[in-house]
Amino acid sequence: MVELIDSDIRTREVLSWDGLHVLHGRMSSCSQKLRIFLNLKGIEWQGHEMNLAESETYSDWFMGINPRGLVPVVVWDGRVFIESNDILAMFEEKFPEPCLFPANKHREIDALLQQEDDLHLDLRTLSFRFVLGRTGSNKSSAVLDQYRGYDAKVAGEPDIDRREHELDFYERLAEEGLSDDLVRVSAKKFWAAFDELETRLSASPYFLGEKISVLDIAWFVYASRLHLGGYPFARLFPNIHEWRQGLASDERFAQEVLPPAPLQELIARNQAAWAQAGTTLSDVVGL
């Protein structure tokens, strides 16, 4: 569990917030996963939406509660938690009903959630290019330098590794954009993961059997994002297609992955233009 200790927390005002607060991003996949989880558990929370396009999570204020500059963050009666998968596990322990981490499957869940976390920057790559239509960086070098330079700690230790990971992504984005080659590398990793998930879904309606688990939530978020980007699930992975559609008919899932109206319009415009130019996700990756 990644919980900040008192000396890590520089934005002291959050220590006096009452109740459960979630700092999140509307289109952030980890935030969507957490919101769906909270919906299924029926847990009440107060939201603080961060604008990722404007790099709000790199501000002094936000870095004072997450030295990694990432959403989601949970502030709960003066305690500050980061890392979405750890946060889900904590809520499972405190709110066991309905069970979303089946007791006998912890090892499998850990492995598949780790795989999901490892694919995070690949999702961002495909998402930026085929959902947001963004091929350049939204973060200036001044913003990145400031982010690198924070003397921020997690559990009292310098925490530069996670930031380096983000910096690599954004610096490469600024220098090289999102080339077809980069997109293909990311899509290949997803292909391998989906191939495995498709097989699981041929044996049962959900990834771990008859009941929805945290894995369905996590992968629903990824599949929904790629669906927005034009990923041809119906043609390539019919079980995943049906499973995603089934979950999307539940408002507790659907409302959290729905892009705001202006983004929906942008996606529709971009998809039409890419179809005409022969540069959709399927065209570029050769799906």
Q: Which parts of this chain interact with ligand GSH (CB under 6 A)?
A: 25, 28-30, 52, 55, 57, 70-72, 83-85, 117, 120
The strand pair at 20-24 and 157-158 is best described as unpaired
Least Å distance, CB 242 to ligand GSH, is 26
* Cα gap 146→123, rounded to integer Å: 25
Toward ligand GSH, which CB reaches closer, 75 or 201? 75
Determine the Cα–Cα distance for residues 65 and 79; give it in Å rounded to an integer.
10
Least Å distance between CB 30 and ligand GSH? 4
Q: How far is the CB of 88 from ligand GSH (least distance, A)?
A: 9
* Cβ neighbours, 10 Å, residue 107: 8
- Of 95 and 169, which has the nearer Cβ to ligand GSH? 169
Strand runs labelled E in the chain? 2-3, 20-24, 46-49, 73-76, 79-82, 153-154, 157-158
- Which phi and psi angles does 209 have, rounded to 5°? 130, -135
Smaller CB separation from ligand GSH, 74 or 187: 74
Whose tokens are 């500050």? That residue is 80
Query: Distance of alpha carbon 13 from its chain centroid, rounded?
Result: 27
Q: How far is the CB of 236 from ligand GSH (least distance, A)?
A: 25
CB atoms within 10 A of CB 177: 14
Q: Which is nearer to ligand GSH, 118 or 195 (CB)?
A: 118
- The CA distance from 208 to 225, in Å, is 22
Sign of the dihedral defined by the CA atoms of residues 252, 125, 137, 170, in that order: positive
| Contact between residue 76 and residue 64 where contact means Cβ atoms under 8 Å apart | no
Instruction: Kindly report the number of other CB atoms within 10 A of residue 195's CB atom.
Output: 12
Pairing of strands 153-154, 157-158: antiparallel
| Closer CB to ligand GSH, 55 or 213, in the complex | 55
In the complex with ligand GSH, the residue whose CB is nearer, 128 or 237, is 128
Could you tell me the smallest distance in angstroms from the CB atom of residue 69 to ligand GSH?
6
- Closest approach of Cβ 27 to ligand GSH, in Å? 8
- Name the minimum Å distance from CB 31 to ligand GSH: 6
Q: How far is CA 25 from CA 118, 207, 248, 266, in A?
A: 20, 26, 20, 19
Residue 29 or 270 with smaller CB distance to ligand GSH? 29
Return the H-helix or E-strand segment holding 171. Answer: helix 160-176
CB nearer ligand GSH, residue 170 or residue 237: 170
Enter the tokens of residue 52. 């990722």
CB of 55 to ligand GSH, least distance (A): 6
